[in-house]
Structure 1
Amino acid sequence: MSVWGLVIETTVSSGDRKHVEACVVAHVHGSRAEALAELERRARSYAPEHPRSPRRRRLLREGDGFLLVVDGAWQSFATRFTVAELLEDSAADEPVGQVEEVEDVDDVEKYADGVPVKPAWLGRNDLS
């Protein structure tokens, strides 16, 4: 099962001090589609700090996420929402991305109708 990071890159400050900051706001365990659905939910409800008086808000879908452009009275501010597979995390309790060995399908004990006696998911520790 993959772990996906939900990343938000947003414009902070204004004028000459305006810059972009990024942060991982959540992790999703599951499929990329599940992670994108959660990311879209967050993008639709996101309320950026700037501009203070928004005039127009546009949410656009792109390859791995979304782009929110909010026009203010004088400037536009952008927030990028990206889903990315987590490959390494130095603060994780256990290594990310370790692949458990999967039994060879031909070596599995099966009933006469071909159904395995022991389900493949039984005993896995990565399922909730």
Structure 2
Amino acid sequence: MSALPEWGLVVETTVGTGERKHTEAQVVGHVSGSLEEALGELERRARSYSPTHPLSPRRRRLLRVGDGFLLVVDGAWQSFVTRFTVAELLEDSAAPKAPEPVVEAPPEPVAEAAPPAPAPPPVGPEPEVDADGVPVRPAWLGRRDLP
């Protein structure tokens, strides 16, 4: 399955006046999909576009060209043109990198708690026990290290 093509929406417009009048271009958006979808979005933008020049427009004409639209606005003394173009995006050096696939490591085995160390054997003679194995004399009786 191939990815949908990415289309750049380019606007080239006349800026400045007189001898300083020149054209500047910028990519104003992107559309993923068919060329017809990209042209539809570009036409929507071209119809609502309001150029800075001329200050007092007398006539506005939106023309369809092969890959976009041409907006010609006549002013009192000069005409200003804005070109709207759809262009397929082939490369973008500032595009965000695709996220790396996340590979989850298997969970580390949880170390089981070690059983408590056995109590040290009592020092001294074996305590006396009754028939059930219960010491006759409690182990704490006579200890000097207890309060």
Q: Which runs of 5+ in 1 are unaligned?
A: 96-128
Counterpart pick for 1:81 among 81, 84, 102 = 84
Per the TM alignment, residue 76 of structure 1 is displaced from its structure 2 partner at its CA by 0.1
Per the TM alignment, residue 93 of structure 1 is displaced from its structure 2 partner at its CA by 1.8
Query: In structure 1, what is the Cα distance between the partners aligned to 2:28 and 2:12?
Result: 10
Alignment of 1:1-128 (within 5 A): 1-94=4-97
In the superposition, the TM-score normalised over structure 2's length comes to 0.64
Answer 1 or 2: which has greater helix percent: 1
Query: In structure 1, what is the Cα distance between the partners aligned to 2:70 and 2:10?
Result: 12
| 3-state DSSP of counterpart to 1:58 | strand
Query: In structure 2, what is the Cα distance between the partners aligned to 1:15 and 1:63?
Result: 30
Q: Which amino acid aligns with 1:34?
A: E
Moved over 3 A (4+): none
Larger gyration radius, structure 1 or structure 2:
2
Share of identical aligned residues, percent? Answer: 77
Q: Which has the higher contact order (CA 8 A, sep 6+)?
A: 1
Answer 1 or 2: which has greater strand percent: 1
State the superposition RMSD in angstroms: 0.9
Aligned length: 95
